[in-house]
Amino acid sequence: MQFAVTFRHMEPTEALKAYARERMERVRKYLPDPISCHVVLSTERHNHRIDVTFHLHNGLSVTGHEITEHVRAGRVDLGLTAPRPAEEDLAWHALHREQLCLAVPADHPLAERRDVALAEAGDGPFVTLRAPIGLRRLTDELCARAGITPRIAFESTEIGTLEGLVAAGLGVAVVPVPRPHRAEPGVAYLPITDAAAHRVIGLVWLRERPRPPVVARFAAYVADRFRGEGQEGQ
């Protein structure tokens, strides 16, 4: 999941936050998951009306490492991405821990298993995201921990595409555990026994750049929202 926010001449009033929350909840169920977003929040007062504009880019347009580049270049104030960026000039606040699993075709020999050690899939082909996308880095690290070198059959830039390739029988993939209504037909999702099979989604910003009050307040609001839902990352 990646999410970037830019603020334009706005104060985080309660009315604005309530309006933005309602709008985001309304569209969230229609958005791809995982998602890459660049959101521009702005306010204009015309007859006491608040306008909030969202600009959405799918994973083909904006990947996690590109969002951190936008943050470092000053094009956005905050980013929401996973895993934690390695750059030392970026500050980070963990929000949500997301379990990873092994997606296999429904007719795969492992498909009926309750869980799986990643090494058990080491003889077959993998489908992965392209480097340097964050989930690709996590996949490589998990495979190294399992003592295997994955034979990569296909690479993509979107997790949804990976799941489609798995359903077509072209390989297995390490992906986030999907929400029930987002599971790909023809795919079995198996918990991975390695305790490291997770990723942490968090807010990122440039450490030395002064944050305007509206940015700091929005970051605090996001953190409080995740904490209130019991989803704060580890």
Q: Is pTM, for the whole model, over 0.75?
A: no
Choice between 184 and 62, residue whose per-residue pLDDT is larger: 184
133 and 183, same structural domain? yes
Query: 233 lies in a domain?
Result: no
Q: What is the CATH number of the domain that holds 183?
A: 3.40.190.10
Query: 177 lies in a domain?
Result: yes
58 and 146, same structural domain? no
pLDDT at 99: 95
Query: 234 lies in a domain?
Result: no
Q: What is the CATH number of the domain that holds 83?
A: 3.40.190
Domain around 143: 99-198
Rounded CA-CA distance 175/160 in Å is 9
Query: 87 lies in a domain?
Result: yes
Confidence of residue 169 (pLDDT cuts 50, 70, 90): very high
Burial of 103 (0-12, 13-18, 19+ CB in 10 A): buried
56 and 117, same structural domain? no
219 and 167, same structural domain? no
Q: Calculate mean pLDDT across residues 149-175.
A: 94
143 and 124, same structural domain? yes
pLDDT at 205: 92
14 and 85, same structural domain? yes
Query: 52 lies in a domain?
Result: yes
Choice between 109 and 74, residue whose per-residue pLDDT is larger: 109
154 and 108, same structural domain? yes
123 and 37, same structural domain? no
92 and 205, same structural domain? yes
190 and 170, same structural domain? yes
96: which strand partners? Answer: 201
203 and 92, same structural domain? yes
Q: How many domains does the chain have?
A: 2
Where would I find the beta strands (DSSP E) of 2-77? Answer: 2-8, 36-42, 55-56
78 and 53, same structural domain? yes
pLDDT at 49: 43
